[in-house]
Amino acid sequence: MSKPKHPRALAETEAQAILRNVRVSPRKLNLVAGLIRNRSAQDAVATLTFSKRRIAQDVKKLLESAIANAENNHQLDVDRLVVTRAEVGKSVVMRRFQARGRGRAARVEKWFSHLKIVVAERAQATAPETTAQEAA
């Protein structure tokens, strides 16, 4: 006998990818995660490709992993994927010291973060039809 299977926490139209213990502070990572929240998957990948922030390439890799999970594991349509959640959390903090004058020491904190990206399949929005008044 084995233990019962863990029920799936996400909806059938969602897929996720998780990156743990990435060496960047949560505040900085949240700025990059904010760039891709509530965007289409292709738009988010394009945004991260041309971002100047160092961590953007790791976030892009994670987003591509979430897209691949949606396509291969859950048979979702890649063209209709939207980044519904990009959650940033705190991880461990390495504490180091820096020598200062007169024999003193200053604490240096090196923050680590967790990142979870959830993509979901959304129905394509149809183009709004123009009425006769708008066309005139």
Smallest Cα–Cα separation from 124: which of 79, 76, 72, 60?
79
Domain boundaries, the chain: 14-122
What is the pTM for the complete model shown?
A: 0.85
Lay out the sheet containing 105-121: strands in order across: 14-22, 105-121, 81-99
Q: By the 8 A CB rule, do 92 and 112 touch?
A: yes
Write down the pLDDT at residue 131.
57
pLDDT in tens, 11-55: 999 999 999 999 999 999 999 999 999 999 999 999 999 999 999
Right CATH number for 14-122 from 3.40.50.2300, 3.40.50.300, 3.90.470.10, 3.40.50.1580? 3.90.470.10
Q: What is the mean pLDDT of the chain?
A: 93
The reported pLDDT for the residue numbered 125 is 58
In the chain, the N- to C-terminal Cα span, in Å, equals: 72
